[in-house]
Amino acid sequence: MLTFCPTCANLLLIERESAVGTSSSGGGGGVRLRCAACPYAYDVVDGVRQRVKTTRKTVDDVLGGDEAWRNVDKTATTCPRCEHGEAYFMQIQIRSADEPMSVFYKCCECAHQWREG
């Protein structure tokens, strides 16, 4: 975890207290966070914990949403969900150029989408 200095915003470095010579017990097991640019130091007693709330990104439709299906052709294929015999389709190159194109289908009846290839 990266921790930054509250006074100058530089990255805090980890150092053992025995290296500084401030340990009075002689064991020297303590750790502190020290700023290399200013005199700020933080003695770590119970560990360093920082809870950061993350926000989930909104996922865009890879195929372009409903707009991408507006001017596509129909073909005779069976929908795996409703067994309807006709679906819209489009071919997209989603892998490298030496791989075959992927065919995406959308059922004309139930709007279920699936992929082959």
Task: Determine whether the annotation assigns residue 5 to a binding site.
Answer: yes
Of 21, 3, 23, 20, the residue nearest 12 (C-alpha): 3
- Give dist(CA 21, CA 11) in Å, integer: 22
Q: How many CA atoms lie within 13 A of 93 on its CB side?
A: 5
Q: Consult the annotation and say whether 107 binds a ligand.
A: yes
User: Is 79 labelled as part of a ligand binding site?
Assistant: yes
Interatomic CA distance for residues 42 and 13, integer angstroms: 10
- On whether 108 is known to bind a ligand per the annotation, the reply is no
Q: Does 82 appear as a known binding residue? A: yes
Cα dist from 95 to 63, 98, 100, 109, whole Å? 14, 8, 8, 29
Per the annotation, where are the binding residues? 5, 8, 35, 38, 79, 82, 107, 110
Binding residues for Zn(2+): 5, 8, 35, 38, 79, 82, 107, 110
